[in-house]
Chains A and B, each alone.
Chain A
């Protein structure tokens, strides 16, 4: 079966760095997405990786290793507004998105 694993919840301190991991097992691979979702709101797009390596976009970076079925989202200089759920999603061979359950990130002052 297809499976996306990510931690349920993480806590970090304002100004610090946090890494949210995602491992996947899917039928084929056409890219991995990270989305941010604040409570009660729709997800917003953060990043897309289809090749191995690190993609940096401001305070957020996303890494992918296809051979290991592994990705992480790195958030630097954490701000209180970064408190949200972070969803990892993989597009399989049928171009369908398989969603992880999300990681709730709690930022403390």
Chain B
């Protein structure tokens, strides 16, 4: 099946710093990528949808200036958490959907962010 790689898997940073998370589709072209956040014992929460070559569409309540999303190519999307604070500590997961009829999503491994 299709493979989506997410990096880094774990990141610890100091409050006020910025963190970049990469999401790559390894064997297919992902026209659409999704970024989710998941707090402990809760379901996935969609943060934003990014389409290659255009601006990301953010869900209500998600600060676009804080969570910068770039989808510059069909195989790479990045999420940058700017000026991270402890409340941003969470599990961030990306998923990609290629030009497939079923709309099946392929998930990255996830990135656990801890802000001290």
Contacts and interface: CB of A to CB of B under 8 A. Distances in A.
Interface of A: 30-31, 33, 40-45, 48, 87, 91, 95-97, 99-102
B103 A95 contact: yes
Interface in B86-116: 91, 93, 102-110, 112
B42 interface: yes
A60 B7 CA distance: 31
Given A42-B93, A48-B102, A101 B42 contact: yes
B103 A45 contact: no
B72 interface: no
Residue among B34, B103, B109 with most chain A CB within 10 A? B103
Nearest to B107: A42
Interface of B: 6, 34, 42-46, 49, 91, 93, 102-110, 112
A107 to B, nearest CB: 18
A87 B44 contact: yes
A41 B109 contact: yes
B43 A101 contact: yes
Contacts, number: 42
The 10 closest A-B pairs by CB, nearest first: A42-B107, A101-B43, A42-B110, A102-B43, A42-B93, A99-B43, A99-B44, A43-B107, A42-B109, A48-B102
9 contacts: A30-B103, A33-B104, A41-B109, A42-B108, A87-B44, A95-B103, A97-B105, A99-B43, A99-B46
**Interface residues of A: mostly helix, strand, loop or mixed?**
loop
Contact of B46 (A30, A44, A97, A100): A97
Contacts of A43: 44, 93, 107
Contacts of A96: 46, 49
Nearest to B1: A45
